[in-house]
Amino acid sequence: MSHNAESTAFRSALEVIRAVEPRVADAIGAELTDQRESLKLIASENYASPATLLAMGNWFSDKYAEGTVGRRFYAGCQNVDTVEALAAEHARELFGAAHAYVQPHSGIDANLVAFWAVLADRVESPALKKAQVRQVNDLTEADWFALRRELGNQRMLGMSLDAGGHLTHGFRPNISGKMFDQRSYGTDLATGLIDYDRVAEAAREFKPLILVGGYSAYPRKVNFRILREIADSVGATFMVDMAHFAGLVAGKVFTGDFDPVPHAHIVTTTTHKSLRGPRGGMVLCQPELADQVDRGCPMVLGGPLPHVMAAKAVALAEARRPDFADYAQRIVDNAQALAEGLLRRGATLVTGGTDNHLVLIDVSGYGLTGRQAEQALLDSGIVTNRNSVPQDPNGAWYTSGIRIGTPALTTRGLGTAEMDQTAELIHTVLTHTTAGANADGTPSKAKYTLDADLADKIARQATDLLAPHPLYPAIDLA
């Protein structure tokens, strides 16, 4: 395929959009410039391929397709059936899963589908029995009341937010924390690592219906075989949310005990992080949960997004190619080089390093909050996000951590030498940033000072680092 074709496709698309609302075309163009120029270290972001992006911009967006392949509530879904079946087949083959449900619109939606599927499968209430036989519209108010009472009694054990878990793993402000009576497991305070004996102890005491594995900000491998044994010992369903590290599973960097798919009853993921697909979600499960999972729409989800399922099929096909395994390994090599570069310069890292795609810097060692560090880095052309560290004294808003990840820069082709240079840039910014004070003289968690010339100099160095690795080199919008 010629480079020219990609340029022509995106240029023509913008021309068509510009004729209707030029400001949207301008914003799309400006976004490409911004993404090209910034050193993107957001652990949950990536750059999808032009083929994946183009698969989303078309008339599949116009279709309603509630139901599943071959069993739709709408007529005329034969082409949607084709792409949904393809995406599911690629997902099953890629991950070695018995069943794949590719409709969830996002990771949170995938988790909701999974929670519902487990509840519907496990709870013996007349209301749920009715729901299981697809009579949701017939449920009376009393049925729904009974249902809510049943749901309110369910228990979930997941990783705590400050140890790296996700909001949907039972955190109170999220619906998961309202649907479930929740308890969390943290990490060992000295090592920062999951203490499996403590998880087993919590499971014995709490007897969860669902044990959740997976994380948004834990920089280490997780032993899913052990977590499954713990779940089995208390009769819990074992669910893993692999949203962050799905690319490392797909690329066979995480295998054996560290591959969740053979161990979990149900696995959820996003498709847009390390997996490098379109924004979306997916559920993989063992055969006994397949029927419940397939009821995700309309039980929990609105109509599926056929254009995004088409893009999932494209991205999953890409992830099945041999070069994806190489990409996944380079993500981890880069994260380790970044961690080593930071450690050598004196940074404190949660768990002392990484064996996945992300690194968590405890910036309190630099006398900063996560909020101050995030903004100072942004001023210097380095895009990261602040994140809690275990037992964070600054809470979930200001935080004491900076989470950085390598999937995006690895897609651009940066390697370990450039990761060391990136560590130097980050360390220079953080050592030259000082925490500010409020008007009354008390320490501020948000204000900071950083010399503007230094910030500009670092931003230029960041641009120089990116220059040999242009983003979407084939696309020229000029």
- What does the binding site for ligand PLP look like in residue numbers (CB under 6 A)? 44, 106-108, 166, 168, 214, 216, 241, 243-244, 270, 281
To the query of whether residue 66 is one of the catalytic residues in this protein, the response is yes
Active site (annotated) includes residue 273: yes
Q: How far apart are CA 412 and CA 13, in angstroms?
A: 24
Considering the complex, what minimum distance in angstroms separates the CB of residue 296 from ligand PLP?
A: 14
Provide the minimum distance between the beta carbon of 217 and ligand PLP in the complex, in angstroms, as a whole number: 8
Amino acid at 40: K
Cβ distance to ligand PLP smaller for residue 277 or 381 = 277
Catalytic residue among 64, 130, 420, 428: 64
| In 114-264, beta strands by DSSP E | 154-159, 180-185, 210-214, 237-241
Catalytic pick from 40, 72, 273, 371?
A: 273
101 tagged catalytic:
no
Please confirm, yes or no, whether 141 is among the known catalytic residues: no
Phi-psi region for residue 114, left (φ > 0), alpha (ψ -120 to 50) or beta? alpha
Which of 84, 109, 143, 241 is flagged as catalytic? 241
Residue number with CB closer to ligand PLP (127 or 246)? 246
Tokens at residue 133, please?
């036989």
Query: CB of residue 107 vs ligand PLP: minimum separation in angstroms?
Result: 2
Q: How far is the CB of 44 from ligand PLP (least distance, A)?
A: 5
Complex with ligand PLP: residue 40 or 244, whichever CB lies closer:
244
SS3 of 158, please? strand
| Smallest distance from ligand PLP to CB 281, Å | 6
403 vs 427, beta carbon nearer ligand PLP: 403
Which of 37, 66, 81, 89 is catalytic? The answer is: 66
Q: Which is nearer to ligand PLP, 242 or 313 (CB)?
A: 242
Q: Least distance in Å: CB of 109 to ligand PLP?
A: 6
279 included as an active-site residue:
yes
C-alpha distances in angstroms, 188 versus 23, 124, 193? Answer: 51, 37, 5
**Torsion angle, alpha carbons of 392, 393, 395, 398, to 10:** -100
CB of 165 to ligand PLP, least distance (A): 8
Residue whose beta carbon is closest to ligand PLP = 107
Place of tokens 């994140």: 387
Candidate list 237, 268, 270, 410, residue with the active-site label: 270
What letter would DSSP give residue 228?
Answer: H
What are the φ and ψ backbone dihedral angles of 381, each rounded to 5 degrees?
A: 80, 15
Residue located via tokens 């004729």: 19
Q: Exposed e or buried b for every residue in 257-286, given b needs 16+ CB within 10 A?
A: bbbbbbbbbbbbbbbbbbbbbbbbbbbbbb
Which lies closer to ligand PLP via its Cβ, residue 99 or residue 166?
A: 166
Taking the least distance from each CB to ligand PLP, the nearer of 164 and 341 is 164
Tell me how far CA of residue 49 lies from CA of 77, 86, 248, 310, in angstroms.
26, 18, 18, 13
Question: ∠ CA(423), CA(428), CA(429), 5° rounding?
Answer: 105
Marked catalytic residue, from 92, 155, 225, 279: 279
Phi, psi of 240 (to 5 degrees): -120, 130
Active site residues: 64, 66, 241, 270, 273, 279
